[in-house]
């Protein structure tokens, strides 16, 4: 609840500066195409944040039992080892680098980033990550309408996040987090770590990997925190040059 | 701000660009991620109704799995291991190593059973030599008990000090 209240406060103070930054007239439409930041394949150097060995050591390759496999996850899976799904870490690294790049870009454009995790074991580290990089976290029960009915619920025009990062996408073993559907409804980009029993379809930038192990969640938190901080750092640098 | 809440139709990008094209949403009011999405589109379009690919889940097996299966069939109880320990090899790993070494030496002239027996013999011999070299350092409950008994005997043998507690608090 606190996180959404904070979202309101931030919306008030950063709204004007955001307008200034993203106000581009149709004539300038071509300018964004030639933006050096966007045209660079990896402007924030996020590819060097991790190696496949790091992913392996953090046990990102472990999926659930193959009986609970969601068939839409098949292209990301390497195979089944004695009944347990194993992820293809080369593919995971590719998707994770893409997700980190998007995160850094959104942070660079002063976007509002909201981190999600359901599950008591790892929720504290996710909240701490959000605090460390000056963003927001929601790790509790999701009350319906926080996105879809925000203006009524908070009694004011509310700025919704620009990017939602889900470190797990399930509420419990069966149901998907409602915020994924709601983000799609409100046209908010999403990044989600999808385990072998999840549905990656509605997530804009899915990252196949283990979402239960504390080591894996710690690694994700560390990486996304660094990506956000790199984006913000570049933003500060460019603003001081102007 | 105009928006489409039909999340089951198209993707967030296709819906937003449709609104921009029709003029319901002005270019200035486009979402913050819009340019980033255009520059780095996801590998697959994030559509609700994207069908599951027609693929089969392949099974992962290794060449040494036959030897591993034989080892575990004959040894149901091989004790506990520490998963976080990357420095020492587990019993199964050591067995497979010796088995493969033997297989290479015999060049496939011996059956699996005889190779298994030889490998187990080698492992046993290795363990015996290690036990003798390490001596009494091995930690076990019986060893600890013996050690405790020994110290107890030593304490009993030591000269006793005659101190009475009642004497100390006399005055």
Instruction: Please indicate if any CB of chain A lies within 8 Å of the CB of B80.
Output: no
> Measured between alpha carbons, how far is residue A16 from residues A19, A23, A24 in Å?
5, 10, 14
Asked whether residue A12 carries a pLDDT value surpassing 50, the answer given is no
The correct answer on CATH 3.40.50.10490 for the domain covering A2-241 is yes
Mean residue pLDDT of chain B comes to: 86
Assign 3-state DSSP to chain A and report helix, strand, coil percentages, each to 5: 50, 15, 35
The predicted model scores a pTM of 0.80
Q: Return the closest-CA partner of residue A183 out of B50, B5, B49.
A: B5
What residue ranges do the domains of chain B occupy?
1-52, 65-137
The angle at the Cα of B43, spanning B41 to B47, to the nearest 5 degrees, equals 85
Say what the pLDDT of residue A35 is: 84
CA atoms within 13 A on the CB side of A5: 2
Domain boundaries, given as residue ranges, for chain A: 2-241
CA distance B19 to B15: 6
Mind telling me how many Å the CA of B102 is from chain A's nearest CA?
26
**Which one of B36, B53, B55 has the shortest CB-CB distance to A102?**
B36
The secondary structure of residue B52, as a DSSP letter, is P
- Partners of A102 on chain B (C-beta within 8 Å) are 33, 36, 40
Q: How far is A3 from chain B (nearest CA, A)?
A: 20
The DSSP code for A25 is -
* Residue B83 contacts A, CB cutoff 8 Å: no
User: pLDDT of A132-179, one tens digit each?
Assistant: 999 999 999 999 899 999 999 999 999 999 999 999 999 988 899 999
pLDDT in tens, A86-131: 999 999 999 999 999 999 999 999 999 999 999 899 999 999 999 9
ipTM above 0.90, yes or no: no
Among chain A residues, the shortest Cα distance to B29 is held by A23
CA atoms within 13 A on the CB side of A148: 16
Q: Report whether pLDDT(A195) > 90.
A: yes
């Amino acid at each position: 609840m606190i996180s959404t209240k904070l979202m309101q406060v931030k919306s008030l103070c950063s709204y004007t500066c955001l307008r200034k930054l993203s106000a581009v007239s149709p004539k300038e439409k071509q300018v964004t195409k030639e933006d050096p930041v966007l045209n660079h394949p990896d402007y924030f150097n996020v590819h060097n944040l991790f190696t496949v060995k790091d992913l392996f050591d953090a046990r990102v390759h472990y999926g659930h039992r193959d009986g609970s496999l969601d068939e839409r996850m098949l292209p990301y899976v390497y195979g089944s080892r004695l009944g347990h799904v194993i992820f293809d870490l080369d593919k995971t690294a590719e998707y994770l680098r893409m997700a980190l790049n998007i995160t850094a870009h959104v942070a660079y454009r002063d976007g509002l980033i909201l981190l999600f995790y359901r599950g008591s074991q790892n929720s504290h580290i996710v909240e701490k990550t959000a605090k460390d990089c000056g963003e927001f976290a929601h790790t509790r029960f999701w009350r319906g309408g926080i996105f879809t009915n925000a203006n009524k619920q908070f009694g004011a025009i509310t700025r919704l996040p620009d990017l939602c990062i889900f470190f797990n996408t399930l509420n419990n073993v069966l149901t998907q987090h409602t915020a994924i559907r709601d983000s799609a409804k409100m046209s908010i980009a999403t990044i989600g770590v999808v385990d072998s029993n999840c549905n990656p379809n509605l997530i804009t930038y899915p990252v196949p990997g283990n979402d239960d192990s504390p080591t894996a969640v710690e690694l994700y938190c560390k990486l996304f925190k660094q990506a956000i901080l790199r984006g913000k750092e570049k933003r500060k640098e460019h603003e001081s040059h102007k | 701000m105009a928006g489409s809440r039909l999340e089951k139709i198209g993707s967030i990008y296709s819906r937003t660009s449709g609104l921009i094209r029709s003029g319901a949403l002005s270019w200035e009011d486009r979402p913050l991620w819009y340019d980033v999405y255009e520059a780095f589109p996801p590998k697959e379009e994030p559509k609700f109704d994207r069908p599951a690919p027609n693929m089969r889940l392949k099974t992962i097996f290794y060449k040494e799995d036959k030897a591993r299966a034989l080892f575990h069939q004959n040894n149901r109880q091989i004790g506990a291991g520490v998963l976080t320990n990357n420095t020492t090899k587990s019993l199964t790993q050591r067995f497979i190593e010796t088995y493969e070494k033997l297989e290479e030496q015999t060049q496939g002239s011996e059956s699996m059973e005889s190779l298994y027996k030889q490998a187990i013999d080698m492992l046993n011999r290795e363990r015996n030599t290690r036990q003798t070299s390490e001596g009494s350092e091995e930690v076990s409950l019986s060893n600890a008990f013996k050690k405790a008994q020994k110290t107890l005997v030593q304490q009993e043998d030591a000269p006793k000090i005659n101190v009475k507690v009642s004497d100390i608090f006399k005055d």
